[in-house]
Amino acid sequence: MNFENHLAFAQSMDSKDPLREMRNEYLFPQQNGTPFIYLCGNSLGLQPKSAKKVLDQQLQLWQNLAVEGWFEGDEPWMFYHKELKRLMAPIVGAKEAEVCPMNTLTVNLHLLMVSFYQPSQKRYKIIMEAGAFPSDQYAIESQVRFHGFDPKDAIIEVKPREGEYTLRTVDIIEKIEAHANEIALVLFGGINYFTGQWFDMEAITKAGQGIGAKVGFDLAHAAGNVPLALHHWGVDFACWCSYKYQNAGPGGISGIFVHEKHFLDKSLHRFAGWWGYQENTRFLMEKGFVPETGADGWQVSCTQVMPMALYHASLKLFEKAGNMEVLRTKSKTLTSYLFYIVNQVNEKLGFEQFKIITPTEENDRGAQVSIIARTHGKQIFDHLVTNHVLGDWREPNVIRLSPVPMYNSFEDVFRTGELLLTLSKSI
């Protein structure tokens, strides 16, 4: 597509956007009565306008039914998660039985590693991307230590080549194959939080399972952002948060995926709880854990009704928007336009003030574009916020901007470029 760097072009693109009305379903933060251009959905998504209504409905049920809310009403809490499973499954490319909303992300990562990281003295290593989000690093380090291994020996990190910011799939696969007899688990992020790189999850899964390892993904930055096909790719397990691209509120409930091929595998360890017990006999209160079939069998504690209600509100908007491919089509064009606008800023400045470190190839990235500010990065970022553009700052010099297709516009991108140019000239 031939982009143009003027307001009329951006507004023309917005007028033809089939998702343009979805923007009206969300509440934008304001500063002194002026709404922000919000480009931080990669950190915390916007609040759906329906969120207050659905939460009020659940509070009303609690008020009127109290404990009977578990079994009475239009959507008894006992089975509330099943409606979410129906809506979650298409977002990650899974069968309904393979997904379940529960807990929070790192808790679920630990629970799933109990099942899928079962090291032996020979095969005990975990391979991951260098520069993964710290919570993943800490979780993996602690799991390794729990099993009696030294993280310095047991964790293999794949780093970008010298002078590069992102990983090459060939290097990931070569590293997996080089340690084929030692690796117990391959655990990557679906999308790297810092650079916005979308890893070739299918290729990584094939390579990891090809050497006899289990393969899992942290999809915090991928679920609700890019189309996923976890079942088709044969991924062993995955988990994600719901508060970034899925807009389910700060600290929102997490989701898990367990491939159906593992449902009847009794060799898998798990940390059990009452809510994961076989549903039709759960209230017999008998000893001896019998898991419910499917991902529900990994549940530990009872349904978190209020966080699930917020997630439900957001998932209904995904259903309204259409499938993930509709969102993805707009996302690729939005990020390509942001690439173009940033390069236009550099051209007008006469030097590369902003270096994009997100992959140029649109199939290797999601909605996030990360840029290095060569000079005065924090000052420029702070000025963006003062001028009603809210992105995300990462030390030492990276500004992350995420035009989310559900609620961002081409005009948002254009006006952000105008400010980047103006602010860079004034410093």
Domain identity same for 209 and 157: yes
Look at residues 132, 134, 130 and name the one whose alpha carbon lies nearest to residue 171: 130
Domain identity same for 78 and 170: yes
Domain identity same for 309 and 344: no
Strand partners, 356: 371
Report CA Rg, the chain.
22
- Using the structure block, give the residue that is written with the tokens 């499954």: 89
**Whole-number Å distance between alpha carbons of 186 and 216:** 6
Last residue of a domain, one of 270, 297, 320: 320
Domain identity same for 180 and 249: yes
Residue 2 located in a structural domain: no
Q: What is the domain count for the chain?
A: 2
Residue 41 located in a structural domain: no
pLDDT at 384: 96
Domain identity same for 303 and 331: no
Residue 236 located in a structural domain: yes
pLDDT, tens digit, for every residue of 319-335? 999 999 999 999 999 99
**Whole-number Å distance between alpha carbons of 129 and 221:** 14
From residue 421, give the alpha-carbon distance in Å to each of 38, 285, 352, 395, 417.
Answer: 18, 65, 12, 21, 6
Last residue of a domain, one of 301, 320, 339: 320
Stated as kind and residue range, the H or E segment containing 199 is: none
Domain identity same for 111 and 61: yes
Give yes or no for a contact between 267 and 250, defined as CB atoms under 8 angstroms apart: no
Residue 276 located in a structural domain: yes
Give yes or no for a contact between 309 and 270, defined as CB atoms under 8 angstroms apart: no
Domain identity same for 370 and 347: yes
Residue 228 located in a structural domain: yes
Give yes or no for a contact between 214 and 236, defined as CB atoms under 8 angstroms apart: yes
Average pLDDT score, the chain: 96
Give yes or no for a contact between 233 and 205, defined as CB atoms under 8 angstroms apart: yes
Domain identity same for 343 and 304: no
Residue 277 located in a structural domain: yes
Domain identity same for 148 and 220: yes
**Whole-number Å distance between alpha carbons of 330 and 325:** 9
Domain identity same for 290 and 412: no
**Whole-number Å distance between alpha carbons of 298 and 277:** 9
Last residue of a domain, one of 283, 301, 320: 320
Residue 69 located in a structural domain: yes
Look at residues 402, 423, 404 and name the one whose alpha carbon lies nearest to residue 354: 423
Domain identity same for 161 and 60: yes
pLDDT, tens digit, for every residue of 203-213? 999 999 999 99
Residue 294 located in a structural domain: yes
Question: For the domain that residue 365 is a member of, what is the CATH number?
Answer: 3.90.1150.10
Question: For the domain that residue 249 is a member of, what is the CATH number?
Answer: 3.40.640.10
Give yes or no for a contact between 115 and 237, defined as CB atoms under 8 angstroms apart: yes
Q: pLDDT (tens digit, 0 to 9) for every residue of the chain, 427 residues total?
A: 899 999 999 999 999 999 999 999 999 999 889 999 999 999 999 999 999 999 999 999 999 999 999 999 888 999 999 999 999 999 999 999 999 999 999 999 999 999 999 999 999 999 999 999 999 999 999 999 999 999 999 999 999 999 999 999 999 999 999 999 999 999 999 999 999 999 999 999 999 999 999 999 999 999 999 999 999 999 999 999 999 999 999 999 999 999 999 999 999 999 999 999 999 999 999 999 999 999 999 999 999 999 999 999 999 999 999 999 999 999 999 999 999 999 999 999 999 999 999 999 999 999 999 999 999 999 999 999 999 999 999 999 999 999 999 999 999 999 999 999 998 888 7
CB within 8 Å of 16: residues ≥ 6 apart:
none
Domain identity same for 117 and 183: yes
Specify the pairing of strand 125-129 against strand 99-101: unpaired
- Using the structure block, give the residue that is written with the tokens 């807990």: 103
Its domain, for residue 18, covers 7-35+323-426
Strand partners, 392: 400
